[in-house]
Structure formats: structure tokens, C-alpha cells
Amino acid sequence: MPELTIAVLDDYEAMSTAAADLVAEIAAANPTAAVVVPTGETPQRMFRELVRHRHAGAFDASGLRVHQLDEYLGIEPDDRRSFLGWMLRSFAEPLGIPLEHVVRLPSDGDVAAACAAYDQEIEGAGGFALAILGIGANGHLGFNEPPCDGSAPTREVALSEETLASNARYWGGREHVPRRAITIGMAPLLQARKIVLLAFGAHKRDIVRRALEGPMTPDVPASYLRLARDVTVFLDREAARGLEVGRA
């Protein structure tokens, strides 16, 4: 039976702290867990809270196996736009996670075959223990751009105009944003034993409401979170305003 918990906190800082506490608890219970880690601005405060836990001796992430959620195609790991590099700098390195525990998405050679093999390997290993996710303004999870339903596999994708515009702020303009990417698919994400979703700010209010209360539809890929086995959604009050679903 799917379980959906919505935790509404006063602000971004409180939301991030509560999410970090839950992630630390999950990691303590399974120190070698396979964890999907995003980039973007939303999880950064939570990452800093986890680092604070580590420095206080309350969190040991060194045994985790960390999977990148998505990546642009056609760029090298040392490119400033690399999501792998961003994840290493903001998450893996500050938490003392060895590089050999970081699992890159396949992006060379026959990408379609490599992605299919990736999904088979994840399924054979029992799936992800934890997937940490943000939600795009168009309802995407990772780079699972609409339309996309809950069965979509890990694959190469064309980025939507909305995503290109959103990512432009990271790299100094739309002309610097790669047009194609690779993403962990909806199917392996939804099969994770635990999903933590983070969203903050009034600009996410409409898509959060559509994902949690609107029709379950490929036009809002995040709406399929309601099929996942165990999801905790962390929101600040601005993102949660107007929601009618039950809250923690």
C-alpha cells in the first residue's frame, strides 16, 4: 500500500533540516544503501545540514553507494556544467564518500543498451534504498520531462524549453545549456524503498498541488509519486499553501 507523508515546515531552512534528519536516519539504518542524489538549488541546504551532522559525529555516509540522478549528454566530468561534478562537490566529497562508491549514469557508446543494462543491474540489486528528488516547474523528476508516465526507463531525453530556460540561470544563459541529457527513469525511481521529495517557494506551489492533488497524468510526471511505496514530501509554507491533502 503506497504511503505518502507531507511535512510542512516554516521555511526553507527548517524544511532542509527536517529532511536531513530523515536522510541521516535512513543511512544509519542501512549504511551501505544505494542512494539517488540530485543537484540543483533545492537540496543544497539539506546537504550542508548532513555535513554538519557528519562533523558532529552523528552521520557517517562513507559506506553509501551514490547514484547520480541525471546528467547532460556531450560534456566531460570536469566541465563546469557537469551534474556529476556538482554532486561530487556538494555531496560526496564533503561527506567523505569515496569516488569508487559513486555510480555514474551511462553516457558513452550505445546509450540505449547501456541504460537498459543499468536498470537491469539496479533491479537485480534490489532497487534503490533511497531516492532524493526535487520537482521541476513542469512536474519532471530528474529529467523525466512530460509527457512521461511511471513506466519510463532510464534513457536519453531531449530537454523541454521550460527546463532549458530554468537551467540557464546556472550556466550564464540559455545558450550554454546542453539540449540533451540522460536520466534515471520513472520506473526505477518509483520502485525505490523510500523517496524524499523537496520543494520550496511560491513558484513551486502550483506544480506541487498538481502533483499531489491533481489527476495522475503523464503531463505531470511527479503525479506518479502517489504509486510509490513510501514517499515523504518536505515543503515550506509557501510551496504548501492551498494544499488539501493530509500533512504530517
Catalytic center residues: 70, 138, 140, 145
Closest CA to 179 of 154, 156, 148: 156
Q: For residue 174, what are the contacts with CB-CB under 8 A and spacing of at least 6?
A: 164, 165, 168
**Helix extents (H) in 38-160:** 44-55, 83-87, 111-124
Q: For residue 1, what are the contacts with CB-CB under 8 A and spacing of at least 6?
A: none
- Residue 83's Cα: distance from chain center in Å? 12
Could you give the maximum distance between any two Cα atoms of the chain, in Å?
47
Closest CA to 200 of 69, 35, 40, 37: 40
- Cβ atoms within 10 A of the Cβ of 56, count? 8
Q: For residue 177, what are the contacts with CB-CB under 8 A and spacing of at least 6?
A: 72, 81, 159, 164, 167, 168, 171
**Helix extents (H) in 30-185:** 44-55, 83-87, 111-124, 161-171
Asked if 194 and 131 count as a contact pair (C-beta separation under 8 A), the reply is: yes
Q: For residue 207, what are the contacts with CB-CB under 8 A and spacing of at least 6?
A: 135, 136, 137, 138, 139, 199, 220, 222
